[in-house]
Chain A
Amino acid sequence: MRVKPWAPVLLAVVFVVVRAPLFAHHGSASYDINKLMTLKGTVTDFQFMNPHSEIFINANDSAGKSQEWVVEGLGVSTMSRVGWTKNILKAGDQVTITGNPARNGSHAMRLKKIVLPSGKELALQSAEDYAGQ
């Protein structure tokens, strides 16, 4: 994963966990599936990978301050079956993302739908696609 000049909290996350011996696949219970939120922002990085693809975006909060967010999707096979490719997003793209927020209030979301710069929408159905992953 390319290391970017993240905010201090995310930088600490990378250094602390990159050598952790834990097996790290977390269940979907980390996200509140009863809540939906939408972010409009600028893509800073897109990792199309297993087990979870990750979209990193900068989005303004309600006070207009830019915040870094990470939006988590699914693995490569599953996402490719609903139209995703490794080239579908690049740094600088303006996107609108709807998803389930992290339960612990951190700047993380589980992807449900994205509107690409072209206006095209790509969606992941909730229970159907995430169950068991």
Chain B
Amino acid sequence: MRSRPAALALAVLAVLAVSHGILAQTVGSQGAAKASVTDLTGVWRRSRRPPDNARRYTVFELAYSLTVDEPPMTPWAEEKFNAARPSIGPHEVPLSKSNDPVSKCFPPGVPRIYLQRGLPMEIMQIPGRVVMLFEYDHFVRQIFTDGRQHVQDMPPSWMGDSIGKWEGNTLVVDTTGFNDKTWLDLVGHPHTDALHLVERLRRVSHDTMTIDISIDDPKAYTRPWVSHSVYELKPEWTIGEVICEDDAGFTCMEKMLEPGK
């Protein structure tokens, strides 16, 4: 390089950038007791805290959907939503009449996996990856933090292709590559294979993490919209086993509880 000061500045910047990355990894490996803000390690459970005190919120709004208000659906999405027959929630139908893919044990996809059965997830950080292990059916999300770009030559998948980078104390996760076979939530809001999620994960205190999810899918929604969630650390919990097919074998209460007996 001809300009020595510029070369020096570039070298200094490069060293700083690399060492920030190393520092984040090193500090993050010390465990939750000395958690740095860039350490999301732990078992987390989504809080059902209402967003404000404006009114009482139903459990359906807090636990079954991504936002309290309806998202800005296109006519295409409205038609799909009206055709959804969820097996739980305010518009539930008997399980045998539901067209919810999860009722047949298909993967819930993202972001629905966050809502699934109110169950916890565990975040583990290893070099080059942030791994989320969900108690529901042991689904795993791998968020690659090694600088790779999205895959271009693979077919769409149920859980999408996630890459992440730290912006200060926020992990920004970009996910594309979804198939269109899942519901966004438990009540049947739809999406297409053009779904693009940007999640911002931030540990705001030792015991609390916020996840803000921006949902962009122009055929389904007239503009991007954001879901805010708060997660509580559960240091005494370990991820257990919840298997979707156990629902399938659980027929002994169905007859007893059917309406109109």
Distance A51 CA – B242 CA, assembled complex (angstroms): 7
Q: Does A66 contact B (CB under 8 A)?
A: no
With an 8 Å Cβ cutoff, the count of chain A residues facing the other chain is 43
Q: Does B186 contact A (CB under 8 A)?
A: yes
Q: Which of B104, B236, B257 contacts A30 (CB 8 A)?
A: B257
- CB atoms of A132 and B118 under 8 A apart: yes
A20 neighbours in B (Cβ, 8 Å): 251, 254
Distance A28 CA – B251 CA, assembled complex (angstroms): 15
- CB atoms of A25 and B118 under 8 A apart: no
- CB atoms of B253 and A23 under 8 A apart: no
Return B260 CB to nearest CB of chain A, in Å.
7
Q: Does B246 contact A (CB under 8 A)?
A: yes
A75 neighbours in B (Cβ, 8 Å): 242
Distance A10 CA – B259 CA, assembled complex (angstroms): 16
> Are A29 and B92 also in contact (CB < 8 A) when A52-B250, A77-B135 are?
yes
Q: Does A18 contact B (CB under 8 A)?
A: yes
> Are A23 and B256 also in contact (CB < 8 A) when A75-B242, A131-B62, A132-B186 are?
no
B59 neighbours in A (Cβ, 8 Å): 127, 130-131
- CB atoms of B96 and A22 under 8 A apart: yes
- CB atoms of B259 and A103 under 8 A apart: yes
With an 8 Å Cβ cutoff, the count of chain B residues facing the other chain is 46
Number of A-B contacts (CB under 8 A): 122
Q: Does A37 contact B (CB under 8 A)?
A: no
Q: Which of B48, B88, B117, B254 contacts A17 (CB 8 A)?
A: B254
Q: Does B241 contact A (CB under 8 A)?
A: yes
A76 neighbours in B (Cβ, 8 Å): 240-241
A10 neighbours in B (Cβ, 8 Å): 256
Q: Does B169 contact A (CB under 8 A)?
A: no
- CB atoms of A22 and B251 under 8 A apart: yes
Return A58 CB to nearest CB of chain B, in Å.
16
Q: Does B116 contact A (CB under 8 A)?
A: yes
Q: Does B231 contact A (CB under 8 A)?
A: no
> Are A132 and B88 also in contact (CB < 8 A) when A17-B254, A24-B251 are?
yes
B119 neighbours in A (Cβ, 8 Å): 77-78
B258 neighbours in A (Cβ, 8 Å): 104
- CB atoms of B252 and A1 under 8 A apart: yes
Q: Which of A58-95 contact B (CB under 8 A)?
A: 70, 72, 75-78, 80-81
Mark contacts of B18-35 with chain A using CB atoms, 8 A cut-off: 1 yes-contact digit, 0 otherwise. Answer: 000000000000000000
- CB atoms of B88 and A24 under 8 A apart: no
- CB atoms of B253 and A26 under 8 A apart: yes
- CB atoms of A18 and B251 under 8 A apart: yes
Return A99 CB to nearest CB of chain B, in Å.
13
Chain A residue, CB-CB nearest to B96: A22
- CB atoms of A131 and B240 under 8 A apart: no
- CB atoms of B253 and A24 under 8 A apart: yes
Q: Which of B60, B246, B256 contacts A51 (CB 8 A)?
A: B246
Interface pairs A-B: 9 shortest CB-CB? A77-B240, A131-B63, A25-B247, A27-B88, A30-B257, A127-B59, A17-B251, A24-B251, A132-B118
Listed by A's residue number, 12 A-B pairs whose Cβ atoms lie within 8 Å are: A13-B255, A49-B246, A51-B246, A76-B240, A76-B241, A77-B119, A77-B241, A106-B257, A106-B261, A108-B256, A131-B62, A132-B118
Told that A23-B96, A70-B253, A104-B261 touch, could you supply 4 new A-B pairs with CB distance under 8 A? A18-B252, A51-B246, A77-B240, A102-B257
